[in-house]
Chains A and B, each alone.
Chain A
Amino acid sequence: MSILEIVILLPLLAALAVCLGAPARLVSVGSAMVNLGLMLGAATKFKAVAGELAFTSSRVVLDNPSINFAVGMDGTSLILGLLTALVTLAAVWQIADDRPPIYHTASQLIAAGAFGAFLCTDLFFLYAFHELALIPTFLMIALHGRADEAARKAVAWKATLYLGAGSLVLLAGLGWLVLEYSGGQKLTFDLNALRAMAATNPLPAEKQGIIFFVLLLGFGTLVSLFPLHSWAAPAYATAPVPVAMLHAGVLKKFGLYGLIQIALPLLPQGPHVPWVQKALLLMLLGNILVVGFVTIAQKSLDRILGNSSVMHMGYIFLGIAAGTELALRGAVLLMFAHGVSIALLFALAGRLRNQLGTLELAKLGGLASHAPVFAILFAFGAFASIGLPGLANFAGEVLVFLGAFGAEGGTTFGPLQWTVVLALWGVVMSAVYMLRAYRDIFQGSATTGLFMNDPSLFQRLPLILLAAALLIAGCCPWLLLDLLKTAPVP
């Protein structure tokens, strides 16, 4: 049995145990810890070899069409697996004791789905695990969302429709891809087999472009690609804290993961077909500039964080659009960094709302004097998300910019270069809204805002875990980059 199968199975068992009445917190936090340990262990043992996966295992489910429960990982899956383990632990740890056990069940189910999606190498299971993770997400927003019943159901319904529609488009795209590459042979969903076929027998460029675009719309909806983003900000503002952390931090990366691991290797020319490239560049600029401005206009912290999370997806799409080695590695690094930083920020915002009852900037102020540790932790998340060197996001962003701008080399100044220039302005906008939020919440006189205490040491630990991850990955980005030495292989 591969270690990866254990990693996927463990949260499922934990969810089941909690359902059956086992002590929720103990089981949930314990299994998350074991999983983080397993992933770290796997990372130290991991040796990247070009074109090969580590820790593989395959169980035949169906012979024809060929469907296997196959797991395995390359550097990209490993980094996302680490992200999942890290965020899951922080998310279940910070669930307060007075919450019903369904918080733990749902979190563990989402974690299992995410692990499955990132570690399975069979398209059938990869897709199915993602869908598995979506269902508890919707349910938790609808049942335990932070708004009155009608409002939270409307939000959940909207997210359900968007993501459901996106998943269906995605399914169509994947089906088409599988049919095209199996041409005349036995149908297979095995990612490696499909990659091999794509390498020996590539599709014509124009067709690659069309299928890539379908996949882009499908995966893109899941990642809130502009203009299919309207579901995201309200969903994150309403979702219970662990669900917001897990979805924005981890599950949302599935769409990007799919584009990098499935769409790019199988359709290498897809993003370079001129019309596809132009459309993608325009959409990602929508994420960065349009949503950037939308974020500046927000007046409460949850909306700022939700929108900023949508905005920052634009940079990862930029890495995918450029498609160079530098830009793609930057994109993977940025996926990890964004996941950790947004999870930290959502956790902190959740605490803030629980203690003060509001996240409106106008009602807050001077909290750094009451809760200095809280303020420092928030600063870690905020400065990471505006790309301060020394915290993880910077390394990813700068690689994306370098890889995209220098994609053609020389003095070329084409659409990609102009996109980079405009995207760089987004970095200024991020600083505008993040510093404004920090100023309004934490600085100023201690008497202007509501009163709040620092979290206890025990409650701080999961937050410190996330902040430390940002610092370590930011100061030593080679730790993660070395895992990618042979991956993603185009």
Chain B
Amino acid sequence: MPAQETSHAAFPTLLLLLPFLSALVLLLGHRILKGAGVFLSLFSAATCFVVSVLMLGSTNPAETVHLLPFLEIGKFRFAIDALLDQQCRGMLFIVTSIGLLVHIFSLGYMKEDAGRVRFFGALSLFMFSMTGIVLAGNLIMMFIFWELVGVSSYLLIGHWYEKPSAAEASKKAFLTNRIGDFGFMIGILMLFSANHGNVSFAGEDGLRAALTGGTLQHIAQTQGNFMSIAVLCLFMGAVGKSAQFPLHVWLPDAMEGPTPVSALIHAATMVAAGVYMLVRVAFLIEAAPAAAQTIAWIGGITALMAALMATQQNDIKRVLAYSTLSQLGYMVMAVGLFAMQHAGAHQETVPGHPAMFHLYTHAFFKAMLFLGAGAVIYSCHHEQDMWKMGGLMKHMPVTFATFAIGTASLMGVPFVTSGFWSKEAILGVAFEVKGGSPLFWIGVATAMLTAFYMTRLFVVAFLGKPRSDSAHHAVEAPMVMLLPLLVLALLTLVSAVPGVTHLLEAMKPHHAEEHATVMVASIAALLIGAGGGFRLYRARDKDPVSIPLFANKFYFDEIYAVLVRVLQDSLAWIIAGLDRLIVDGLFSRLPAFVARRAGAAARVLQGGHLQAYTFLLGLGVLLVIYVVVFVLPAPGH
């Protein structure tokens, strides 16, 4: 048995160890290493990709592999454990494949950056922590790596820390996520307490077992509120990480980071970690129907709201960022709806979760869109305003073609794109679930808006005539950047093909009945949105529409700024004042005053020399000890 265990542990150990070492060496030694360090990071990413492909071949059922003890006290074990199952292997493939491609793309994109090695070090740190989240076999381990992706995201958003906007954006991302993690931790503590100290997903006393005939089942049945609050607290973690309303404000600002980072972290993988975590604990959400409903609605609101904001953005990366928010909302909505559909079913692992399926297709086409945007920005000399682009089709044909495939997939062009199938699966669940129809229509409206703003972006940036010098002189990006784009385009095209989804067992679509209404509604949404966008924006030089509410993102940033100033800074100022006035007054100034009055008589002793006071203090202490020891009657004698 032990021999077998070690062979199983080899793969996950390698997946964690390599990027960890690479991160440590690069981040701490980046000034000594110079350019050579980049290849360490690349080597680690490539090896991890190969390992995760090898793991895909495994048909072993779910198993927990013990890696490191971390914290073990008596019966409590918070270990670094890997829960290897279909979900985990599928997600590993997404993370390592996109990770490797982004590493390669960055070789070109960051070629002239002075902090290149530091950048690759942070990228390795991210790969390490993201792999940890995917492997995590218990909630504590997930929280550990959850925080670590947060810090790698902080480092990468703030890569150009000399730019005040980048410094502020990285701080904002970290703090917003901390608020989410506040809830996440409470949720973990509640489950820890309720399940007698075990927060593993699988295993004999694990959460899943406890919910089917154990302690948690009893609690779910008799104390529904406790269960709902615990689940909603966990969900708060996802709200932060996956940038859901009302903690969505950090993601658009995170675009201050280098574009490859936006593709990997803030589109394809890290922001999807919230969804992945929710799917990991889907069985808990199914046991808390009230929480499931809340989750579905938060997702729906985020999807629609972000799509509205996206229609009025002019920065090419920001449009994609709001689109990411919106699509993440879709996934979260799917988590809630799916749990409502399966409430109380307590089935074993869900074979195809619509949220996971959309996460998977979205990861490839959104990473491609961001890298495409990166290529455009690179070629237009760091111009990000799409109104200063135009006509890029002719200058950058490869980028144009891959961007077109990505756009089509995000809009959900029927039958040929992966995005169509995954969106269809979510709308299908919304249609079937009792009480899901308002969310179904929100989903359809979001799909229409998505088609609209992506058409707008595509038409304005790639078609028409160049509207600036930099667009006029744009040339196709170098091969090292085009290669990842082409690979991602291929993955986007094949990712929903049945043979491929069969390989990624956990990612295969949830086979719902095909509903004519769903099909008609989503195709109609696509036609109206794309058609409207094309008519409105064809051959324009500036935006004919102006809706300040959307352009200013519903004024969330302004409202939060006021809240922070009033609730935090003013409160801090008042409390600091009171602390000085009352606490310090009561315990030091008042006694000092009394002592001064009382001491007036004993002025003789006060020479004003601190050394003398200290000496007296020491003397006093000795005197008291002397009295206690020698003068007080010793009992028993």
Cβ-closest chain A residue relative to B167: A443
**Are A227 and B587 in contact, with the CB atoms below 8 A?**
yes
CB distance from A41 to the nearest CB of B (A): 24
Within 8 A of B (CB), among A358-401: 366, 368-369, 372-373, 376, 383, 388-390, 394-395, 398-399, 401
* Chain B residues whose CB sits within 8 angstroms of the CB of A102 once the complex forms: none
**Are B192 and A406 in contact, with the CB atoms below 8 A?**
yes
* Chain B residues whose CB sits within 8 angstroms of the CB of A443 once the complex forms: 158, 161-162, 164, 167
Cβ-closest chain B residue relative to A141: B610
* Chain B residues whose CB sits within 8 angstroms of the CB of A183 once the complex forms: 635
**Are A395 and B610 in contact, with the CB atoms below 8 A?**
no
Looking at B66-74, B288-296, B320-328, B536-544, the stretch in contact with chain A turns out to be B66-74
User: Number of contacting residues on A, CB 8 A?
Assistant: 90
Given A179-B635, A398-B140, A411-B194, does the pair A157, B613 have CB atoms closer than 8 Å? yes
A207 at the interface (CB under 8 A from B): no
**Are A368 and B161 in contact, with the CB atoms below 8 A?**
yes
- 1/0 per residue, CB under 8 A from B, across A104-129: the answer is 00000000000000000000100110
Q: CB within 8 A of B74: which of A325, A389, A420, A425?
A: A325
How far, in angstroms, from A401 to B145 measured CA to CA in the complex?
18
**Are B162 and A366 in contact, with the CB atoms below 8 A?**
yes
Given A161-B588, A389-B147, does the pair A410, B575 have CB atoms closer than 8 Å? no
Cβ-closest chain B residue relative to A390: B148
A38 at the interface (CB under 8 A from B): no
Within 8 A of B (CB), among A404-420: 405-406, 408-412, 417, 420
* Chain A residues whose CB sits within 8 angstroms of the CB of B162 once the complex forms: 366, 369, 443-446
How far, in angstroms, from A399 to B179 measured CA to CA in the complex?
20
Looking at A74-82, A243-251, A266-274, A427-435, the stretch in contact with chain B turns out to be A427-435
* Chain A residues whose CB sits within 8 angstroms of the CB of B569 once the complex forms: 296-297
How far, in angstroms, from A227 to B178 measured CA to CA in the complex?
28
A147 at the interface (CB under 8 A from B): no
**Are A171 and B621 in contact, with the CB atoms below 8 A?**
yes
Within 8 A of B (CB), among A33-59: none
B58 at the interface (CB under 8 A from A): no
Cβ-closest chain A residue relative to B586: A227
Looking at A92-100, A131-139, A312-320, the stretch in contact with chain B turns out to be A131-139
Q: CB within 8 A of A388: which of B147, B620, B628?
A: B147
CB distance from A155 to the nearest CB of B (A): 11
**Are B192 and A167 in contact, with the CB atoms below 8 A?**
no
How far, in angstroms, from A444 to B147 measured CA to CA in the complex?
24
B404 at the interface (CB under 8 A from A): no
Given A171-B621, A185-B635, A431-B175, does the pair A326, B76 have CB atoms closer than 8 Å? yes
Given A65-B634, A297-B576, A405-B193, does the pair A160, B613 have CB atoms closer than 8 Å? yes
* Chain B residues whose CB sits within 8 angstroms of the CB of A325 once the complex forms: 73-74
Q: CB within 8 A of A135: which of B28, B73, B614?
A: B614
Looking at B181-189, B267-275, B388-396, the stretch in contact with chain A turns out to be B181-189
A293 at the interface (CB under 8 A from B): yes
How far, in angstroms, from A427 to B573 measured CA to CA in the complex?
19
A184 at the interface (CB under 8 A from B): yes
CB distance from B581 to the nearest CB of A (A): 11
* Chain B residues whose CB sits within 8 angstroms of the CB of A168 once the complex forms: 620-621, 624
* Chain B residues whose CB sits within 8 angstroms of the CB of A290 once the complex forms: 575, 579
**Are B175 and A432 in contact, with the CB atoms below 8 A?**
yes
**Are A411 and B193 in contact, with the CB atoms below 8 A?**
yes
How far, in angstroms, from A421 to B190 measured CA to CA in the complex?
10
**Are B74 and A296 in contact, with the CB atoms below 8 A?**
no
B583 at the interface (CB under 8 A from A): yes
Q: CB within 8 A of A187: which of B611, B621, B635?
A: B635
**Are A135 and B70 in contact, with the CB atoms below 8 A?**
no
* Chain A residues whose CB sits within 8 angstroms of the CB of B161 once the complex forms: 368, 442-444
Within 8 A of B (CB), among A319-370: 325-326, 329, 366, 368-369
B151 at the interface (CB under 8 A from A): yes
How far, in angstroms, from A226 to B579 measured CA to CA in the complex?
10
B223 at the interface (CB under 8 A from A): yes
* Chain A residues whose CB sits within 8 angstroms of the CB of B636 once the complex forms: 182, 184-186
* Chain A residues whose CB sits within 8 angstroms of the CB of B620 once the complex forms: 164, 168
A153 at the interface (CB under 8 A from B): yes
Within 8 A of B (CB), among A255-313: 290-291, 293-294, 296-298
* Chain B residues whose CB sits within 8 angstroms of the CB of A226 once the complex forms: 583
B434 at the interface (CB under 8 A from A): no
**Are A160 and B568 in contact, with the CB atoms below 8 A?**
no
Given A230-B587, A326-B73, does the pair A389, B194 have CB atoms closer than 8 Å? no
Which one of A184, A293, A296, A326 has the greatest number of beta carbons of chain B within 10 Å? A293
How far, in angstroms, from A349 to B93 measured CA to CA in the complex?
45
- 1/0 per residue, CB under 8 A from A, across B294-310: the answer is 00000000000000000
**Are B219 and A411 in contact, with the CB atoms below 8 A?**
yes
B629 at the interface (CB under 8 A from A): yes
**Are B164 and A171 in contact, with the CB atoms below 8 A?**
no
Given A135-B618, A138-B610, A161-B588, does the pair A424, B635 have CB atoms closer than 8 Å? no
* Chain A residues whose CB sits within 8 angstroms of the CB of B72 once the complex forms: 478, 481
Given A184-B636, A389-B144, does the pair A435, B610 have CB atoms closer than 8 Å? no
How far, in angstroms, from A197 to B15 measured CA to CA in the complex?
54
**Are A230 and B583 in contact, with the CB atoms below 8 A?**
yes
**Are A186 and B186 in contact, with the CB atoms below 8 A?**
no
* Chain A residues whose CB sits within 8 angstroms of the CB of B189 once the complex forms: 401-402, 405-406, 420
Q: CB within 8 A of B635: which of A142, A184, A445?
A: A184
Q: CB within 8 A of B182: which of A157, A326, A424?
A: A424
Given A368-B161, A411-B219, A435-B174, does the pair A477, B625 have CB atoms closer than 8 Å? no
Q: CB within 8 A of A425: which of B148, B164, B182?
A: B182
B571 at the interface (CB under 8 A from A): yes
B171 at the interface (CB under 8 A from A): yes
CB distance from B17 to the nearest CB of A (A): 12
* Chain B residues whose CB sits within 8 angstroms of the CB of A156 once the complex forms: 610
**Are A399 and B185 in contact, with the CB atoms below 8 A?**
no
Given A64-B634, A185-B636, does the pair A153, B610 have CB atoms closer than 8 Å? yes
* Chain A residues whose CB sits within 8 angstroms of the CB of B74 once the complex forms: 325
Cβ-closest chain A residue relative to B570: A297
How far, in angstroms, from A293 to B573 measured CA to CA in the complex?
8
How far, in angstroms, from A186 to B634 measured CA to CA in the complex?
7
Q: List 19 A-B contacts (CB under 8 A).
A: A153-B610, A160-B614, A161-B591, A168-B621, A230-B587, A325-B74, A326-B76, A368-B161, A369-B162, A389-B148, A402-B189, A405-B193, A417-B193, A427-B178, A428-B179, A439-B168, A439-B171, A443-B167, A445-B164
Q: Which residues of A contact B (CB under 8 A)?
A: 62, 64-65, 67, 124, 127-128, 131, 135, 138-139, 142, 153, 156-158, 160-162, 164, 167-168, 171, 175, 179, 182-187, 226-231, 290-291, 293-294, 296-298, 325-326, 329, 366, 368-369, 372-373, 376, 383, 388-390, 394-395, 398-399, 401-402, 405-406, 408-412, 417, 420-421, 424-425, 427-428, 431-432, 435-436, 439, 442-446, 477-478, 481
Q: Which residues of B contact A (CB under 8 A)?
A: 27-28, 31, 69-74, 76, 78, 140, 143-145, 147-148, 151, 158, 161-162, 164, 167-168, 171, 174-175, 178-179, 182, 185-186, 189-190, 192-194, 196-197, 219, 223, 226, 568-569, 571-573, 575-576, 579, 583-584, 586-588, 591-592, 610-611, 613-614, 617-618, 620-621, 624-625, 628-629, 634-637
